[in-house]
Structure 1
Amino acid sequence: MHEQTNEVQGTRYSPTSIRATWDGTGSVEDASRALGFSRAKGYDLARRGEFPCRVLRIGRSTRVVTASLLRVLESGEPEYNGARA
């Protein structure tokens, strides 16, 4: 059962799936899962300015730019906010 859950979750956060289902921005929680770390770690990195892709602060909301996330997923290299490999 656990393998099946990981397989479905991996597909949900694949670049192809993200392109098909996300708008211009996504949640920090979903972007963190796509990158392979927890929600808490994602928000901590965003707060410190170290999230590996572009993050927007809109009022009290924090959003991840989908195009930036896709570039990071496809290249494996962080591209924004002073993040280092």
Structure 2
Amino acid sequence: MHQESKELSGPRYSPVHIRATWDGTGNVEDASRALGFSRAKGYDLIRRGEFPCRVLRIGRTTRVVTASLLRVLESGVPEYNGTHTSRDTS
């Protein structure tokens, strides 16, 4: 059982593992865990337009762009979507 806990917080969410096992997008729960916060916090950040990497909304599904997540994990610099933060264009 101890190995399972170690696996969840370690290699499963490393950039090497994500690059090898994820497709073009991943789910919000796994992306949030890779970034170090909970699923609920991830969805809250998405709702506010502040999730640190690009997300796609496809119908009722929200997916995280794997390439963007990897860039954020490797650089530590967030890539905000920006569509929600620039509503006032005047």
TM-score range, shorter chain: 0.7 to 0.9
Equivalent residues, number: 81
Cα deviation digits, residues 21-60 of structure 1 (max 9, x gap): 0000000000000000000000010111100000100000
1:21 aligns with 2:18: no
Instruction: Classify the secondary structure of the residue corresponding to 2:72.
Output: helix
For the aligned residue pairs, the C-alpha RMSD in angstroms reads 1.3
* 1:52 lines up with 2:55 in the alignment: no
Is 1:7 aligned to residue 6 of structure 2?
A: yes
> What are the residue-to-residue correspondences of 1:24-39 with 2, within 5 Å?
24-39=24-39
- Residue identity (%): 85
TM-superposed CA distance for 1:6, in Å, is: 4.5
Question: Structure 2 unaligned runs (5+)?
Answer: 83-90
1:19–1:50 Cα change, 3 Å: same
Report what 1:66 is aligned to: 66
In terms of fraction of residues, the more helix-rich structure is 1
Q: CA deviation at 1:77?
A: 1.0
Who wins on radius of gyration, i.e. which is larger? 2
Equivalent residue letter for 2:41:
K
